[in-house]
Structure 1
Amino acid sequence: MSFHLVVGHGPAGAATARLLAEQGHEVRVVTRSGPGGGAVPAVEGVEHLALDAGDPAALARAARGAVALHGCAAPPLPQWAARWPALVSSLCAAAEDSGAVLVMLGNLYGYGPQAGPARPLTEDLAPAAAGPKGRVRAAGWEQARALHKAGRIRAVEVRASDFFGPGVTDGGHLAARVMPNVFKGRPVAVLGDPDAPHSWTYLPDVARALAEVAVEERAWGRAWHVPTVPAASVRAMVGLLAAEAGTGPVAVRRLSPVLLGAAGLFSPLLRELREVRYQFDRPFTVDCSAYEAAFTVRATPLQEQVAATVAWWRERLQP
């Protein structure tokens, strides 16, 4: 049994902590609120600690003795540009002080909109994000990678596409703005082209990849894409979810740019999503073949993902 420190208890942090505990590890989760704040479910083998992860000294103390430091925290979307640099610097400092492997959870924002015909994203693409959220995410990994190359820390980044699955509630793609309508058989309004292929990364697969690369020295020093099933459009995914829920066909409509702009005046989330709307206007797919060639985690079959997601939401939406 080894000690893992998980920073953040959003969907990915919670899933990772739970998986590591199930594997028999000692797990400590760091959040601002700690065990008494919010709705933190009790999980056997998981300890919750209240501290500001942006405080390097405090985080370093919490990380001492850990074999891995899993960076799963994320500031609120409107605060990414202001708060990501301090959080990444703190994670790097704690990894250097403790000797723990820094396992960073990343996303695909840093790649930015690719020029030319749409093709699957690979880890060797140069960062080309034009917006602040994409640039700050790319810069965070470059900071950690530079320290890794200098021999000061050991670091790896695991990149996921849009989260899908049990526990995923935030966002407007296949979560809180979609699932209640699916269960009621009501139309769903979505960003971008509802028929464009899109990669959806299953949350339990994210946790399994984070746990695997933490102990695989061959993984360190670079970024990897989480194993993800072949891309499917929003319309296709909604159809699968509705069929599993037993609510029949559900209409999927494109949210017009005009309405999106108007809604952004009142919804901070929709306003922030303008930067990455390009991901839904054309095919947006991820190539995870490098990970699959090197390690053992594979994407959960799509029908299993859909069944587990519908079951989770059915329980959540019970009156």
Structure 2
Amino acid sequence: MGKHVVVGSGQVGAHLARKLLARGHEVTVVTRSGSGPDGAVKVAADVADQARMIEITRGADVLYNCVNPRYHRWLTDWPPMAASFLAAAEASGAVLVILGNLYPYGPVSVPMTEDLPLASTSPKAQVRARIWQEALAAHEAGRIRATEVRGSDYYGPGASDQSYLGDRFLVPLRAGKTVPLIWPGDIKHSWTYLPDVADALVVAGSDERAWGRPWHVPTAEPLTFREMGDRMAALLGRPAPRYLRIPWPALRAAGLFSPMLGEMRHIRYQFTAPYVLDSSAFQRTFGVAPTPVGEALKTTLDV
């Protein structure tokens, strides 16, 4: 079994570390606080400290970038961390597996495939695009081996407070109360199940066919907020919930006082038109299918 270094122990990193441990691997989890699941070696470190990261990853087979600074801090926090990951991957020889996202594509009118240009004009999305572009350049130069795995908005057990289908959605739904929505409720949207993200990362780190290009996490058919909520309510034996759409001007006003809400204008396009992820390349290449939505929702709700 190999040595795997998982940087970040949030909604994806924790799932990933547990899956690697279950496969018998030696797993080191790196966070600022030194947290992580039982069975892993837990290390507290500043990810931007290149010397420290090189020390931690010595002898590693795979290095996973699962960190995610707050959205309003991407411009300042990402560049030094990305440079540190590259330095550690080059020094250790570990495969660098980057957990990416769909932001660099920008607004699109077709299902998203991995060959779409990274055409977003948003500075924050461009930061994410550069992380992959610099890793790919290092890969093509023979300095490292790298791949990137991209999913849509996450849901599932352990979803963070930033998830649109996390507690802000589930708590009122479970209580039979009105569910607040900050986006339209009837636009088709791809939702990526967290355990499927972790599974895709494991494949990307272990199968050399994955290296040197990006991949989309196996993701089920797109569904609207209303469809997801109605399915969850049915599983709980409740009638379809009521939904309350928060007006966009109210969100813009709240953004004057909340940095996170203030950033919503940059991603509004993702929820005001269909936003569909095509994961057929990963599914076809590696023979992996997304978890069916019904099964995923049962696990999410623990019913």
Please state how far the C-alpha of 1:296 moved relative to its aligned partner. Answer: 2.9
The 5 A counterparts of 1:281-296 are: 281-296=272-287
Distance 2:197 2:180 in 1: 27
Residues matched between the structures, number = 303
TM-score normalised per structure 1: 0.92
- 1:12-60 deviation line (CA, Å, top 9, x unaligned): 011100100011101000001114xxxx5x423x111011111111101
Distance 1:72 1:296 in 2: 24
Q: Which amino acid aligns with 1:18?
A: R
Contact in 1 for aligned 2:153/2:163 (Cα 8 Å): no
Please state how far the C-alpha of 1:264 moved relative to its aligned partner. Answer: 1.6
Distance 2:159 2:60 in 1: 27
Contact in 2 for aligned 1:191/1:280 (Cα 8 Å): no
Please state how far the C-alpha of 1:132 moved relative to its aligned partner. Answer: 2.0
Matched, 1:213 2:204: yes
The 5 A counterparts of 1:1-319 are: 1-35=1-35, 40=36, 42-44=37-39, 46-114=40-108, 118-171=109-162, 173-311=164-302
Question: Helix, strand or coil for the counterpart of 2:277?
Answer: coil
Q: Which amino acid aligns with 2:264?
A: L
Q: Which amino acid aligns with 2:4?
A: H
The alignment yields a C-alpha RMSD, in angstroms, of: 1.3
Contact in 2 for aligned 1:208/1:297 (Cα 8 Å): no
Gaps of at least 5 residues in structure 2 are none
Using the TM superposition, name which of 10-19 and 270-279 deviates more: 270-279
Distance 2:294 2:233 in 1: 12
Question: Helix, strand or coil for the counterpart of 2:271?
Answer: helix
Question: Helix, strand or coil for the counterpart of 2:221?
Answer: coil
- 1:223-279 deviation line (CA, Å, top 9, x unaligned): 000000010011100111122223321112332111111222233322222211110
Contact in 1 for aligned 2:111/2:277 (Cα 8 Å): yes
Distance 1:268 1:240 in 2: 32
Distance 1:69 1:222, change over 3 A: same
Q: Which amino acid aligns with 1:96?
A: E
Question: Helix, strand or coil for the counterpart of 1:307?
Answer: helix
Contact in 1 for aligned 2:96/2:145 (Cα 8 Å): yes
Please state how far the C-alpha of 1:131 moved relative to its aligned partner. Answer: 1.6
Q: Which residue of 2 aligns with 1:317?
A: none
Q: Which amino acid aligns with 1:43?
A: D
